[in-house]
Chains A and B, each alone.
Chain A
Amino acid sequence: MRILLAAATAMACAAPLWAEGDHGLTIPSLTAEVTPEAGLEAWDRLHEVFTHPRCINCHVGEEAVPLWTTTHGANPGETRPHGMNIHGGDSRVGAEYIDCGTCHVTSTRPNTTPGAPPHAGLDWQLAPLEFQWTGKTPAEICAQVRDPERNGGRDGAGLIEHITHDAEVAGFITWGFTPGAGREPAPGSLQSHLDDTAAWVAAGMPCPGDPLPASAPTEASE
């Protein structure tokens, strides 16, 4: 019943699956004219999403301990290790100790109960280790996201497909924007996130600190 590391194994597809999918999103153009400056601005918005607690709290490192951003207690708003001594293990799904899915069931139904563990249409899990975002600078995260070796083998189109596929299965990205039960959503919407991704891709995936290129990198023109 478990789909291990679904996100990690999803590969970019040549055929645009989303065209037939039920993701409800408007697919932006990847070949629009986007200046590097506008691309970097799009990246900034992407970075804001990635490092929002709804996203980064499961993009942790080798320690494999997910994070909580508290809404109550001694210091509301502080980031702390997930309660209950939770450890994701090398499996990143807690299989060595207690499965994420023991509490975070797999379901596409809305999250409505305050304090209850959130769920999504994918099996709950930590992001793969190579997707670690905690403790990284924006430039480091950016370099990860545009590197197929460290982003699940995705090119620009693959990144777009990653989002639309997530929308089809009510996955983690979708959940991040609609976490329900009083949780603060990631900034923007899934559509704006998709648009920003597309703009960033169209601009040639510029990262902070990149030497300003004379022309767009090749990834975007595939």
Chain B
Amino acid sequence: MELSVNGTSYSLDVEEDMPLLWALRDELGITGPKYGCGIAQCGACTVHIDGQAVRSCQMPVGDIGNAEITTIEGLGTPEAMHAVQQAWVDHQVAQCGYCQSGQIMQAAAFLETHPEPSDEDIDRAMSSNLCRCGTYPRIRAAVKTAAAKLQGA
């Protein structure tokens, strides 16, 4: 089976029903996507598949085909952060940070198609991602900052 992740093609021999999350983490060593719940309750495993946010714990690898997968590692790097990541740094969103890969991937996919979100839009787009530390006030602020930054770019 072939998977294209962050622009690199990988060949792997796994069950078709293995969730993408575990293929990424345990087979390919790509650990930005996190395991939190396994049932799409937390969103910590969010990746982009052809640009759309997807909970990788729900996505059987055998159903991905040749779609392009992007993980947080492919969104930006510490040296060259994506606007959403930069906004997360500027607002010091993270506490434990474990959910934030997923939050950032969700926000990045959302802003790609909704460059000028209202408060209500953000509340609808970002409420499927769980943060046990309670960084939600900062997530709201960071999404707005990122939107403004992307608009200006």
**Do A and B share a direct contact in the complex (Cβ within 8 angstroms)?**
yes
Q: Which residues of A contact B (CB under 8 A)?
A: 1-2, 84-87, 95-99, 101-107, 109, 113-117, 119
Q: Given known contacts A105-B63, A106-B63, is B125 in contact with A98 (CB within 8 Å)? A: yes
State how many residues of chain B have any CB contact under 8 Å with chain A.
29
Bound CA–CA A107/B113 (angstroms): 24
Looking at the assembled complex, report how far the CB atom of A67 sits from the nearest CB atom of chain B, in whole angstroms.
16
Looking at the assembled complex, report how far the CB atom of B130 sits from the nearest CB atom of chain A, in whole angstroms.
9
In the complex formed, the residue of B with least CB distance to A116 is B39
Q: Residue B27 at the A interface, CB < 8 A?
A: no
Question: Contact between A113 and B121 (Cβ–Cβ < 8 Å)?
Answer: no
Contacts of A85 in B (CB 8 A): 123-124, 127-128
Question: Contact between B124 and A1 (Cβ–Cβ < 8 Å)?
Answer: no
Total of A-B residue pairs, C-beta within 8 Å: 74
List 13 additional A-B contacts (Cβ < 8 Å) besides A98-B128, A102-B54. Answer: A85-B123, A97-B125, A98-B53, A98-B125, A99-B53, A103-B55, A104-B58, A105-B60, A109-B17, A109-B63, A115-B39, A116-B39, A116-B40
Question: Contact between B121 and A96 (Cβ–Cβ < 8 Å)?
Answer: yes
Q: Residue B114 at the A interface, CB < 8 A?
A: yes
Interface of B is mostly: mixed
Interface members, chain B 13-50 (any A CB < 8 Å): 17, 38-41, 46, 49-50
Contacts of A119 in B (CB 8 A): 58
Question: Contact between B54 and A113 (Cβ–Cβ < 8 Å)?
Answer: no
Looking at the assembled complex, report how far the CB atom of B132 sits from the nearest CB atom of chain A, in whole angstroms.
15
Q: Given known contacts A1-B50, A97-B124, A102-B55, is B41 in contact with A109 (CB within 8 Å)? A: no
Bound CA–CA A1/B66 (angstroms): 11
Question: Contact between B40 and A117 (Cβ–Cβ < 8 Å)?
Answer: yes
Contacts of A86 in B (CB 8 A): 124, 127-128
Contacts of B41 in A (CB 8 A): 115
Contacts of B86 in A (CB 8 A): none
Cross-chain pairs A/B with CB under 8 angstroms, 6 sampled: A86-B124, A97-B110, A99-B52, A102-B53, A102-B128, A109-B17
Bound CA–CA A101/B41 (angstroms): 14
Question: Contact between B125 and A1 (Cβ–Cβ < 8 Å)?
Answer: no
Bound CA–CA A99/B62 (angstroms): 21
Looking at the assembled complex, report how far the CB atom of B34 sits from the nearest CB atom of chain A, in whole angstroms.
16
Q: Residue B141 at the A interface, CB < 8 A?
A: no
Contacts of B123 in A (CB 8 A): 85
Bound CA–CA A114/B41 (angstroms): 12
Question: Contact between B40 and A107 (Cβ–Cβ < 8 Å)?
Answer: no
Interface members, chain B 110-153 (any A CB < 8 Å): 110, 113-114, 121, 123-128
Question: Contact between A98 and B106 (Cβ–Cβ < 8 Å)?
Answer: yes
Looking at the assembled complex, report how far the CB atom of A79 sits from the nearest CB atom of chain B, in whole angstroms.
20
Contacts of A84 in B (CB 8 A): 127-128
